[in-house]
Structure 1
């Protein structure tokens, strides 16, 4: 197996604190600078899997970087530079406590809720008579916020967000507008590569001067779902599962092995062979969505490589 990075323990010049998320570790430095490291950790159902996926961090970081560059005319973003394949450096801002999820199709979580008989998600109506992976008449925004207890994402309606004062109405109106425009751009980028951007999530923050900026990742396989365009119609007509490029194939594998992140459930053993197949799927998505060949970074000593590149950049 290739070397992977699943935990970090750096001490960069001017470092003040570190926050370890499910997939990314964020180092806060002086002068409101952030060093975000995309690890090879894999999270599904809000649980981090015990083994890392080779090149996953590099893939997420490089797709997110390319997509931020391609959308910076719509909304400014936090990114300053990518001094290493796994690293993004940018400026600190106050994150909104809401994830802006937008869905063009009845897939994943929305399909599971629909199958359970629900016809409303986050206060938004879903038409009757749809089948899994059908296109919505218009994309729907279904926000999520962190639950009061634990780290689970919780569906929330626009009305509830405003009632609980999680975000102001004027800011939320802007977030919705940016979300729709970003999704439209993402859809156009995907279409050029014969892909369908099915659904995705965006996260935003506010700079000290009050500017709303795009933060975290964008249009990656961890935050988005893609279908292959050329076989979409045919598969829908035949009632076949869509071939997709996203983390959903991992979720489906976990479900088929009796794991959905519920209490008492054990993460199934991931063989080296399975982990290699997941890595290959991530590389496939990178090449499909960017239209470029994936260049594997040197993974003989990832920690040393990252440290050297970041320290040199900070000089």
Structure 2
């Protein structure tokens, strides 16, 4: 079988019954179920949500984005084999561990297929909550230019690249463009301070001021759970992004939950422990793919310079990457997923048809 056939590149054309446009992001597509189907599934499956809660099918793809572009490979390979299943398996593992340890629930209600989640609609907190345990990446670049304050937190002089920070750093940024918040520019993904959040908690979608403490607690506890588990595997949890939202359970209680994905190679940096101790950083996350791209093209400035965005888009559109590059990334994603979960990531022969059959036969969502 052609390897390209085992990649789910297009995930927004499934015949799932919906009355709304399919929302297609860089990697995931969301199909909002009809109110009738949502109510039926809640009753049939006994999900712990309000009887009228909107549900969605979330289908992950094997597409890979970097530097704000989607990349493709030779031979019609429009994604990374096994990437979607690896990401979902890792998130499922951490979400389950969070629940078992009494941290908080997630937006996921059901997992019909390795590439599919059934989720409930959450009211998102408009913050991308970033935790950093080491100084690297964009933070290191800013540090070398003399910056010492990050999101209102002072960090000391004398730090070296890839060094562990004196303490876990929370550096939140805005999720989407937020308007009318004093001192916060109206652009996506801009750094904010805890003082910004406290002064404008409702604008960030917190239900009350006390939930800022809860969000920080869940952030730190979630980070520590993943970091401790990865340490047992001699892997280093470097930094990550969390997202939160509110849902209402069957008893009518509002609760703050984890949403999106957690602790994955797409949302985090993970380093190999033995290599790090030998003075070498070996990435077990998407950062590896970014580095491969930077070394693959003659002029890496195209990828780094935001003023050259049109050139960058053309580069991604017109250049099929060698299959070897995508397979190297596949091995990284599948390898870290198998290490974390203890289970193999299987490649589907025909992922799209598998999803359609399961959603038709077991959930009645395909006509």
Q: Fold match, TM over 0.5?
A: yes
Q: 1:82 to 1:5 in 2, by over 3 A?
A: same
Give the 3-state SS of the residue equivalent to 1:283 in structure 2: helix
Greater alpha carbon shift after TM alignment, 276-285 vs 8-17 = 8-17
- Report the Cα offset of residue 17 of structure 1: 4.1
Q: After the TM superposition, which residues 18-97 of structure 1 pair with which residues of structure 2 at under 5 Å, given as runs?
A: 18-29=22-33, 30=35, 31=38, 32-50=54-72, 51-72=78-99, 73-97=102-126
- Of 94, 97, 113, which aligns to 2:142? 113
What residue in structure 1 maps to residue 286 of structure 2? Answer: 247
C-alpha contact (below 8 Å) 1:206/1:213 kept by paired residues: yes
* Cα-to-partner distance string for 1:137-190 (whole Å, 9 max, x where unaligned): 110001122353999533222223344532443222211110000001011110
What residue in structure 1 maps to residue 348 of structure 2? Answer: 298
The CA distance in 1 between the partners of 2:159 and 2:353, in whole Å, is: 51
More strand by share: 1
The CA distance in 2 between the partners of 1:131 and 1:212, in whole Å, is: 37
Q: What are the ranges of 5 or more consecutive residues in structure 1 without an aligned counterpart? A: 236-240
1:272 and 2:323 correspond: yes
C-alpha contact (below 8 Å) 1:46/1:151 kept by paired residues: no
More helix by share: 2
What residue in structure 1 maps to residue 267 of structure 2? Answer: 223
For normalisation by structure 2, the TM-score amounts to 0.78
C-alpha contact (below 8 Å) 1:103/1:199 kept by paired residues: yes
- Report the Cα offset of residue 295 of structure 1: 3.4
The CA distance in 2 between the partners of 1:312 and 1:285, in whole Å, is: 32
The CA distance in 2 between the partners of 1:171 and 1:278, in whole Å, is: 38
CA RMSD in angstroms, aligned pairs only: 2.2
Greater alpha carbon shift after TM alignment, 141-150 vs 248-257 = 141-150
1:260 and 2:304 correspond: yes
Q: After the TM superposition, which residues 133-144 of structure 1 pair with which residues of structure 2 at under 5 Å, given as runs?
A: 133-144=162-173
Q: 1:234 to 1:298 in 2, by over 3 A?
A: closer
Q: What are the ranges of 5 or more consecutive residues in structure 2 without an aligned counterpart? A: 39-53, 73-77, 179-185
- Report the Cα offset of residue 15 of structure 1: 5.1
The CA distance in 2 between the partners of 1:105 and 1:5, in whole Å, is: 34
- Report the Cα offset of residue 294 of structure 1: 2.0
Q: 1:57 to 1:152 in 2, by over 3 A?
A: farther
Give the 3-state SS of the residue equivalent to 1:226 in structure 2: strand
Greater alpha carbon shift after TM alignment, 53-62 vs 250-259 = 250-259
What residue in structure 2 maps to residue 156 of structure 1? Answer: 192
Give the 3-state SS of the residue equivalent to 1:90 in structure 2: strand
1:195 and 2:235 correspond: yes
The CA distance in 2 between the partners of 1:194 and 1:296, in whole Å, is: 24
What residue in structure 2 maps to residue 238 of structure 1? Answer: none
The CA distance in 2 between the partners of 1:110 and 1:289, in whole Å, is: 27
Give the 3-state SS of the residue equivalent to 2:110 in structure 1: strand
The structure that has the greater radius of gyration is 2
C-alpha contact (below 8 Å) 1:287/1:294 kept by paired residues: yes
- Report the Cα offset of residue 265 of structure 1: 3.2
The CA distance in 1 between the partners of 2:196 and 2:89, in whole Å, is: 35
What residue in structure 2 maps to residue 102 of structure 1? Answer: 131
